[in-house]
Structure 1
Amino acid sequence: MARTGSRLATNQHHGTAAVQTSSESEHVRDQVTRALELVAQGQGSQLSAFSLLGEAWRTDADACLCALSELLKRCLVVYTKDAGVERVFEFVAAFAASESGTRAMDGSVDKENSPFGEDFSERMLSFFTRLLAAKDKAVRCRSCEAIASLMNAFGDATSRDTTIWSRLTRALLERTRDRVPMVRARALVALHAMYTREAQISDDETWKSFERLITSDPSTLVRRTALAHAVLTPQTKLLDAVLSRTRDVDERIRAMVYQQVLSGQVDPRMLSIAQRVELLQRGISDRSPMVRRACLQTMLRENWLERVCDGRLTSLMRLLDVEVNETTALSALTQMLIDCSETRCLQIITRFMSELRQATDHTEDEQGEQQQEEACPVDLNELNAERAAVAYVSAQVIAWKARRDRNPIWSHRLAAFLPCTADLCAALLYYHRHAVDVAAAIPDMDATSSFISNPEHSKSALEISAAIGTPQTYAFVVRMLLKMASLVDLSDEAGRRILVSTLQALIRSPRFRTEELELALGTLMRAQADVSETTRLIAEMVTGLHTGTDEAETEPETEQQCSSGRCLALTEALLQVLLMHWHRLGHQFSGRSSLRQRMDSSSFTETAAQTLMPTLMSLFSACVLNHLTSDDSDQRLAAVNVLGLYGLVDQTGQLAMQHALLLLHVSENDVEAVRLVALRALFDWLCVFPFESASSDDHSQSSKESWASDQDRTTLRRNLLDRLCMVLTSADTDSLQSIVVEGFAKLIFLRRLAPDAELIKRLLLLFFTPTTADNPALRQCLAVFFPSICLLGTAQHRHAFEQTFLPTLRVLVNSPKLNPLATVSPVQAGQYIMYLLDPSRVKAQPMHHASRFQTPTRPSPDLR
């Protein structure tokens, strides 16, 4: 009986304890539930929720965590965006951070004295880490989001348990390969939060995951998230991956790289000069206005110019090495100033003028000079490459704004900015003479390796080069001054005569470089206003050089080659200038509303070409035909280039017809560089001249000769196209194949070649075959050509694509296993052709009338 009584007493005691424990657990559960309800509904103060959850944690940590885990699982299954769920996770993260901070400040508190023996943050991290492997995508996504919230809220009070961090890192790295893009993106955010809080994670493996997702993830969301959270330091080695996204297929990602990543984290001095130039080249040639604006205004002006270069245009040009990268640097600076507001553009130019005056006058009152806004001509003293480039671009932009706005203010500023013609001509002669003197002072300046490598001469050569500059620098300054000379006002007769005599003297100079010949001839043609005089001058010079070469039997071979190269350079520069001059005239007359005026402009161009052809043919026989059979490949290259220009200058097409087979022979049997130029010339001739007979029913005796000539043209054209079609599949280099593909695409797009199903089938197979994957020029050309011709072409073009559908798929299906086409999916190829022929694509992608024929690269504004 005594034993029975004691057992009953013991059972009664345990029952009372269980009831008390159950009631406490219920009370804790109610507190946790009320706290999360207040947070989710956004009602009441967050302090009340903090006090409720804190009281529950201190009362019974085990019951608190059990109730909290059960309630959080209900939030984890919500995949769609929900503000209440996001507030719950932020609240839990803030509570965990406060508890971790309390434990960190109180050093006497340890695991034995804590409510549960462990940190609340560690328990939450372990809980969410286990759920990262759940089957439900919502649970995986919300777990990554909760971990990121915990990391952002922890700060420096984060626990540093190595086991927890390593397990968490491995789990997040696994989630970066999740099949759901949203989960991969959230995992990246959590990994970035761990890195910014200096967590102990595997840096190499983590940043390899970032690099993989930035460069090759198919989801736009994941690539954008990875770029936004990439930490660009030398340790992460992510810079190359980020730079590659400037060629992303999504314009928002390309704009993000320029506007946020490169402008916020990357100092341009971290990049090489080649990387800076490549970034600018991609940005200014992008088809998206948003990307161009981000590149020019955000990255170039706000970051590079204002922040890094302190607003100095010369420092920006030095950052881009304008002397070597002239085209890209000048184009970027020009477009940046044009896209700026007028006030901002004037401030930048005025700051440059103040800098230039300070450099030449050696004054120290920089602030006073910057505030001075009085217009004054640019100082041509002590010009270097950077100052000359900025001076030319500033004058160019002011002249463009004066023509566009028709505002007398810009015209007055241009007149005040440009120096007088006499000073400009004196500066031209001065810098050209110094270029010649410096080249003579430093022997073999173009090939300094043998001179400077000698220890006896290296010190003297470097000292001379540092003191007086290099010939390349002076030649660059001359080039900028020649471009500036094309902007001067020629109403002053005395100044115009000085300019003409100066340009003639420069052209006659044997040390005048080939790069400046075209600029000088273009400016001379504008100053003389008579094309025949400039042509006669070049003809006399070429004839003199050719006669001197023939008569000097004992002349060294090197001097003969220099003379021959001079003849070809002069002729090529003259033809280039003539083509540009006639194109400019045609562009001016194309805006005339009268048909008679347009016909008059066309007849004027043809008459000018016929008038100049006798003189040009004398140059042709003197310096072109003789060099086509030269042993020097460089001379053959120049001769083929000049022959191609001659065919374009001859408006009748007779010269192109006579020498087309010659160019075809060169394109098949010469070295690769010459073959490329010959192929380009052939396709240019085919694009300009029809080479085919006109349909006519008049076969009388008087028209038999012309009819026979038309038949010869048609036969020649057919033979050329057949031989060129063979190059599509038999070309031994990628460059040759790209030139032929681009040429046929131009012919079809310009309606010079009727749509042929067999030719289009060959182009489609070249586009699909894996062997052209390493030929980006070919792939990009066809990727633009196919959608454009189907969208903007005629019904015949679409019918030709319809006819190629089954033959193309038949080739892919019947390809042998060893053929690269066997790896191409016929289903995907058929889907692509069906996409091209989809009639709803025209309605789905409306194009502006003025921009329908927009090319992939955006040309710089016409500032001439």
Structure 2
Amino acid sequence: MSTELTEAILKYVALEKELLADGSDENASTVVFVTNKLLTIAALCDVGDEVGRRLLSQLASDMLVSAATSDVLLPALVDCIAHTHKKTNDRIDVVTGIIRELADDNNYRNTGGLDTSLVVDTETDIADFTADDRQFRSLAICSLFLEKTRRLNINHGEMSALIDNLILPGIQNHNTFIREQAIRSLGLCCVINPEFGRDYLLLLLQVAENDGPRIQLTAVKTLFDLLLVYGPLTLGVSSAHVESDRKREQQADVIRESMNNMSLMENDLEALGDKDTGENESDTEATVDTTIKTYIPILFNLLQSDTAEMRTVAAEGFAKLLHTNHLASHTVFAALMVLYFNPMSSDDQRLRQCLGVFFPEFAFATARPVADKSLAHQAIIERSFLQIMNTLLDAPRRSPLYEVNEYQVGAYLLYLTSPEQLNQNNPNYSSGASLFEAHHALAITIANECLHAAKDGDNYYMKLWSKLLNVIEIEHENQQLVKAMRVIIADLRKECNDSVAQKQLQRSAHQLADYDQTPDDWISRSDIEGLFDNLLKGLDRAFLDGVDEVLATTANTDGSVKRTLRARSVKAPTKTDNSDSEVASDGADESDEESESEADIQEADLDDPESTDEEMA
């Protein structure tokens, strides 16, 4: 590290001060840009020369404590500190020393206050922002320093004091930008060391629930980062952390009270540092249960947030958790699929791009082996199929989901579970019947829905399910399933009174007849029931997390099938005799003429028996 480079940086710093004093902001910005590049170069130079290393470290430290230093230079200055101090403990000592100087009024030279050009929100009143400029600068330096740290020793006295005296008071500050920096710093501490994550996870949850949108967004990102780095199991509350539970509850209460009152109480820090010496609770919940029951539902609710950015962050977080196998939940997958097809998200390009890439990657990627199988992701999609379809079919007229084309959604789910696509996109999958397990289970599900629709006389449902039945791929060698489906479709054709659905069922019957190697041999109904039970049991779902049971209440669904006729559907009359049926049919046609006209547009895809699933694929 040459002293000439350091001297050049000092010259530009002095020039910046002169230009600011003369009111030449445009030229000062140019000087700041050049200074930033010089500092970046300095952070890449060899520090073998001890004199040059100390000179650069001293220069960076002096600039960090100077109020005249622009915030644009902070990342480069912290890089210089990290470059000249390789050991983590040395960095902590230097950074805490800088923050200690910032806290001293005599050392902080007020030359115009904090440069807020990059952080000020135009909708926020910043009249009193410079009053907390030192605390903001200290937190900014702290967060930048933590970004350069891979491992943190929880027993380090300087770091513990930094959290207690800087970060936690910053969370209680009335200024939005200071609280945001404090949450970011606390989140980085938690990501670096899981012990911090366990200690302050409850505090982050309280902030994510009760603070303003800007702070909530930072807290939610931090929570998802923790789950991605360590997983729900590691961050759960275990018996070893019962003693710190009471401390975290006190911290959350203080922070919540501070956010409500927007003022700092004198005894806040004492309450934060107070350790209760009372008796600890004897029984605690299991680690994974605590994580699932406490944390996941709070984050799951964010998928229905009124803020588009919050929904996007939550969707990205859950997509990453599912893809990395930190979470196995068909309820979460169903919520992401519904959000993807929701017309309200059509303008959110980031959300649609994320989910559009996630679904094929999740469906066709090699999942973790479960019971010697590699189709865990396929089981999640299969399990979520009916939940997704029921959500769309039961949507009220005022809901944006009412306008969603259910066939396109169903066809897309069948595409994601297609054996052909599995084989093409991932040759590592095992060959044979395992590729067809998801479609075999979905064939049973759709056939069951067809039977319900025929029994209820719901032509709209019947056309939808019969068309989706044509997309199902059944293994030719599974003759028992082929024969069972032939029996089911034969029964459906007898019960169905809709011409469009009849054509769809006829196509399915012809296709199955081609697969049947012994068409004259039929299967009994008792054998069909046993076959269906075995097929559903064959798709191993034991890996699914208990999160679905918890989220059932949050999602207002228990996973069961709720048969409700769609408002736009035309219910066919109950069959009695021919004359009564004709009269009832005429009456139904007259009374429901308006309802049919309203449904013409949305049923257009179902009324065309020649259309195929190639459009969706």
- CA drift of 1:739 comes to 0.8
Cα separation, 1, equivalents of 2:420 and 2:8: 62
- Does residue 577 of the first structure (1) align with residue 148 of the second (2)? yes
Cα separation, 1, equivalents of 2:283 and 2:76: 43
Match of 1:742 in 2: 316
Match of 2:137 in 1: 566
Task: Kindly report which structure 2 residues correspond to 1:724-743, keeping only aligned pairs within 5 A, or say none.
Answer: 724-729=299-304, 731-743=305-317
Q: In structure 2, the residue corresponding to 1:490 is in which secondary structure?
A: coil
Letter in 1 for 2:313: I
Indicate if the aligned counterparts of 2:78 and 2:144 stay in contact, CA closer than 8 A.
yes
- Does residue 500 of the first structure (1) align with residue 57 of the second (2)? yes
CA gap of 1:708–1:495, structure 2 versus 1, over 3 A, is: farther
- CA drift of 1:805 comes to 1.4
- CA drift of 1:431 comes to 0.9
Letter in 2 for 1:723: I
Cα separation, 1, equivalents of 2:332 and 2:232: 19
CA gap of 1:787–1:484, structure 2 versus 1, over 3 A, is: same
Indicate if the aligned counterparts of 1:790 and 1:837 stay in contact, CA closer than 8 A.
yes
Further displaced range: 787-796 or 712-721: 712-721
- CA drift of 1:800 comes to 0.9
- CA drift of 1:535 comes to 1.6
Does 1 or 2 have the higher relative contact order (CA < 8 Å, sep 6+)? 2
Task: Kindly report which structure 2 residues correspond to 1:655-674, keeping only aligned pairs within 5 A, or say none.
Answer: 655-674=196-215
Indicate if the aligned counterparts of 1:421 and 1:498 stay in contact, CA closer than 8 A.
no
Cα separation, 2, equivalents of 1:559 and 1:543: 19
Letter in 2 for 1:680: K
Task: Kindly report which structure 2 residues correspond to 1:467-486, keeping only aligned pairs within 5 A, or say none.
Answer: 470-486=27-43
CA gap of 1:827–1:675, structure 2 versus 1, over 3 A, is: same
- CA drift of 1:671 comes to 2.0
Match of 1:690 in 2: 231
- Does residue 515 of the first structure (1) align with residue 95 of the second (2)? no
- Of 377, 393, 401, 1:821 maps to 401
Deviations 1:823-851 (A, max 9, x none): 21221111111111123224434699xxx
CA gap of 1:768–1:674, structure 2 versus 1, over 3 A, is: same
Match of 2:98 in 1: 541
- Does residue 768 of the first structure (1) align with residue 335 of the second (2)? no
Task: Kindly report which structure 2 residues correspond to 1:247-262, keeping only aligned pairs within 5 A, or say none.
Answer: none
CA gap of 1:613–1:471, structure 2 versus 1, over 3 A, is: farther
- CA drift of 1:625 comes to 1.4
Cα separation, 2, equivalents of 1:846 and 1:473: 52
Cα separation, 2, equivalents of 1:798 and 1:846: 13
Task: Kindly report which structure 2 residues correspond to 1:629-708, keeping only aligned pairs within 5 A, or say none.
Answer: 629-649=172-192, 651=193, 653-692=194-233
Letter in 1 for 2:401: L
In percent, how many aligned pairs have the same letter? 25
- CA drift of 1:693 comes to 6.5
CA gap of 1:427–1:611, structure 2 versus 1, over 3 A, is: farther
Match of 2:565 in 1: none
Letter in 2 for 1:837: T
- CA drift of 1:504 comes to 3.0
Cα separation, 1, equivalents of 2:155 and 2:43: 23
Indicate if the aligned counterparts of 1:758 and 1:804 stay in contact, CA closer than 8 A.
yes
Task: Kindly report which structure 2 residues correspond to 1:808-847, keeping only aligned pairs within 5 A, or say none.
Answer: 808-845=388-425
Task: Kindly report which structure 2 residues correspond to 1:240-319, keeping only aligned pairs within 5 A, or say none.
Answer: none
Cα separation, 2, equivalents of 1:558 and 1:825: 50
Cα separation, 2, equivalents of 1:828 and 1:509: 60
- CA drift of 1:776 comes to 1.5
- CA drift of 1:801 comes to 0.3
- Does residue 614 of the first structure (1) align with residue 157 of the second (2)? yes
CA gap of 1:694–1:677, structure 2 versus 1, over 3 A, is: closer
Match of 2:593 in 1: none
Cα separation, 2, equivalents of 1:632 and 1:693: 33
Match of 2:21 in 1: 440
Deviations 1:532-588 (A, max 9, x none): 222212112223433649x9xxx997664112112212211211222xxx3xxxxxx
- Does residue 527 of the first structure (1) align with residue 100 of the second (2)? no
Indicate if the aligned counterparts of 1:568 and 1:639 stay in contact, CA closer than 8 A.
yes
- CA drift of 1:708 comes to 6.4
Cα separation, 1, equivalents of 2:234 and 2:92: 33
Indicate if the aligned counterparts of 2:365 and 2:426 stay in contact, CA closer than 8 A.
no
CA gap of 1:713–1:441, structure 2 versus 1, over 3 A, is: farther
Further displaced range: 785-794 or 488-497: 488-497
Indicate if the aligned counterparts of 1:692 and 1:711 stay in contact, CA closer than 8 A.
no
Indicate if the aligned counterparts of 2:366 and 2:426 stay in contact, CA closer than 8 A.
no
Task: Kindly report which structure 2 residues correspond to 1:2-17, keeping only aligned pairs within 5 A, or say none.
Answer: none
CA gap of 1:635–1:503, structure 2 versus 1, over 3 A, is: closer
Cα separation, 2, equivalents of 1:845 and 1:819: 36
- Does residue 799 of the first structure (1) align with residue 379 of the second (2)? yes
- What is the aligned residue count? 363
Larger Rg: 1
Letter in 1 for 2:404: V
**Structure 2 segments unaligned to the other structure (5+ residues):** 114-126, 241-279, 368-374, 429-617
Cα separation, 2, equivalents of 1:778 and 1:719: 26
Task: Kindly report which structure 2 residues correspond to 1:154-173, keeping only aligned pairs within 5 A, or say none.
Answer: none
Deviations 1:584-625 (A, max 9, x none): xxxxxxxxxxxxxxxxxxxxx4xxx21774322211112221
Q: In structure 1, the residue corresponding to 2:233 is in which secondary structure?
A: coil
Indicate if the aligned counterparts of 1:438 and 1:470 stay in contact, CA closer than 8 A.
yes
- CA drift of 1:792 comes to 0.9
Cα separation, 2, equivalents of 1:534 and 1:710: 39
- CA drift of 1:690 comes to 2.6
Cα separation, 2, equivalents of 1:713 and 1:842: 32
- CA drift of 1:760 comes to 1.1
Cα separation, 2, equivalents of 1:625 and 1:547: 19
Task: Kindly report which structure 2 residues correspond to 1:53-92, keeping only aligned pairs within 5 A, or say none.
Answer: none
Letter in 1 for 2:294: N
Match of 1:159 in 2: none
Match of 1:276 in 2: none
Match of 2:601 in 1: none
Indicate if the aligned counterparts of 2:61 and 2:98 stay in contact, CA closer than 8 A.
no
- CA drift of 1:629 comes to 2.0
Indicate if the aligned counterparts of 2:333 and 2:380 stay in contact, CA closer than 8 A.
yes
- Does residue 778 of the first structure (1) align with residue 351 of the second (2)? yes
Task: Kindly report which structure 2 residues correspond to 1:156-235, keeping only aligned pairs within 5 A, or say none.
Answer: none
- CA drift of 1:636 comes to 1.5
More helix by share: 1
Deviations 1:194-251 (A, max 9, x none): xxxxxxxxxxxxxxxxxxxxxxxxxxxxxxxxxxxxxxxxxxxxxxxxxxxxxxxxxx
Cα separation, 1, equivalents of 2:138 and 2:235: 39
Indicate if the aligned counterparts of 1:657 and 1:713 stay in contact, CA closer than 8 A.
no
CA gap of 1:665–1:529, structure 2 versus 1, over 3 A, is: closer
CA gap of 1:706–1:750, structure 2 versus 1, over 3 A, is: farther
CA gap of 1:693–1:611, structure 2 versus 1, over 3 A, is: closer
Indicate if the aligned counterparts of 2:315 and 2:336 stay in contact, CA closer than 8 A.
yes
Q: In structure 1, the residue corresponding to 2:286 is in which secondary structure?
A: helix
- Of 331, 340, 353, 1:758 maps to 331
Match of 1:425 in 2: 6
**Structure 1 segments unaligned to the other structure (5+ residues):** 1-419, 443-463, 583-604, 700-704, 849-864
Deviations 1:32-85 (A, max 9, x none): xxxxxxxxxxxxxxxxxxxxxxxxxxxxxxxxxxxxxxxxxxxxxxxxxxxxxx
Match of 2:511 in 1: none
Cα separation, 2, equivalents of 1:708 and 1:421: 62
Letter in 1 for 2:324: L
Match of 1:22 in 2: none
Q: In structure 1, the residue corresponding to 2:303 is in which secondary structure?
A: helix
- Does residue 719 of the first structure (1) align with residue 289 of the second (2)? no
CA gap of 1:534–1:671, structure 2 versus 1, over 3 A, is: same
- CA drift of 1:740 comes to 0.7
Match of 1:487 in 2: 44
Question: TM-score, length-normalised on structure 1?
Answer: 0.39
Match of 1:352 in 2: none
